[in-house]
Structure 1
Amino acid sequence: MKPMIKKYATPLITGLFLVSAISGTALFFHWMPGMFHSMHVWLSMVLLLPFVLHMWRNWPQFLLYFRTPSMLLACGLSLVAAIAFMLTTGHAGGNPARQLFPLLTHAPLNTLAPVLHMAPDALAERLSHEGCMVHSTGETLDEIAASSGQKSNDLLLRLLPHHNDHRH
């Protein structure tokens, strides 16, 4: 096992780091994010395995770094930078659906329907076909889902027009 780790860990770390650096740079500059996002996320996760194997193999030598002020300073600065980003950008970023879905599921059907390119009565009928009890187009998707034993986000996802859907 150790000869294989010795032979492949550092080359894999190098190759995957380059992929991560290039894809991360592309994401930073918003260049083709659809192509680079999954690659960056998944291959950065794959990078962890050879990194852990490399650390395991070189653990005694690695511990020696912690005797130097430069390692402690670098780790401290990295931690401070990470915390600063979490505190300043954590709530502004993330998945926009987490911010958008509550706005849509709290809206009455007569307000939500035009957003979905439907008439309010057509939306109520569509919800009936989804197994929901709709009493009026003044109800919200949250209210309808709760009374039907369903999740409002799941209902909304089923109602959203698809790119292939030519109804809108």
Structure 2
Amino acid sequence: MNTILKSFSTPLAIGAFLISAVTGILIFFDIEMGAVEPVHKWLSWLLLGGVSLHIVSNWKPFSGYFSKKPAIGIIGLACVVAIGSLLPMFSEDEEGEGRGAGVAAKALESSSLETVALVLKTTPQALAARLDKSGIVAGSNSSTIQEIAARNGKSGKIVLAAVLGGAEKKNDGDRDGR
């Protein structure tokens, strides 16, 4: 049985790795055409199965790695990275916003121009002037950043960036609408 297992476990692991590597690189570079993302996610199970079968069929050589210091170091580092990636400081919410600045930006986007002016220690008129320079019509001082964005066909992030003073030339067309 071990010969049969070896005859298909290694090609399965290699094939699944190739799928995972190619789709992972495409996702990394934001080339998400067709079914790249679902294929990457779901066929990762195929990689897990192929590698597991490969380990089972090659158990004796595999277990030998645990007696070599370099191998233990590499495997240990991989475990630390895997466990570390689960820590909350690296998490994102559903919108892809990280913690800290992303949460603050979200709060400002749902605030009125008057409130944002208080936070920035300026006047709503000064913020409206900044928006005007960026080609964004503020309207009422009681309008929220999101409302201003919707009226102008922009994302809240673009309007907030203009309010904060750094978005006069910002492009509103990146893939996430940010």
TM-score (structure 1 length as normaliser): 0.51
Give the fraction of aligned pairs with identical amino acids, expressed as a percent.
Answer: 33
**1:60 — aligned with what?**
60
Query: Does 17-26 or 53-62 show the bigger shift?
Result: 53-62
Q: How many residues align?
A: 103
* Contact 2:16–2:50 (CA under 8 A) maintained in structure 1: no
Partner residue in 2 for 1:84: 84
Give the distance between the partners of 2:80 and 2:4, measured in 1 at CA. 36
Query: What's the counterpart of residue 102 of structure 2?
Result: none
Deviation at 1:80?
Answer: 2.3
8 Å Cα contact 1:16-1:47 kept in structure 2? yes
How much does 1:71 deviate? Answer: 1.2
Letter in 2 for 1:40: H
Equivalents in 1 of 2:45, 2:33: separation in Å? 18
Report the alpha carbon displacement of residue 72 of structure 1 after superposing the two structures with TM.
0.9
CA distance in 2, matches of 1:77, 1:5: 29
Q: Pick which of 59-68 and 25-34 moved more.
A: 25-34
CA contact (8 A) 1:27 1:36 kept: yes
Q: How far has the Cα of 1:89 moved from its partner?
A: 5.4
Aligned to 1:96: 95
Amino acid at match of 1:25: I
CA change 1:61–1:36 in 2 (3 A) is same
SS in 1 for 2:87: helix
For the residues of structure 2 that align with 1:89 and 1:27, how far apart are their CA atoms?
22
RMSD: 3.1
Conservation of the 8 A alpha-carbon contact between 2:10 and 2:50: yes
**In 1, Cα distance between equivalents of 2:33 and 2:10:** 28
Residue ranges of structure 1 left out of the alignment (5+ in a row): 104-113, 115-168
Between Structure 1 and Structure 2, the one with more helix by share is: 1
**Unaligned residue ranges in structure 2 (runs of 5+):** 99-105, 107-146, 148-178
Does residue 17 in structure 1 map to residue 20 in structure 2? no
CA contact (8 A) 1:27 1:33 kept: no
Tell me how far apart the structure 2 counterparts of residues 33 and 82 of structure 1 sit (CA, whole Å): 28
TM (norm. structure 2) is 0.48
Letter in 1 for 2:41: V
For the 8 Å contact 2:20–2:40, the answer to whether it is kept is: yes
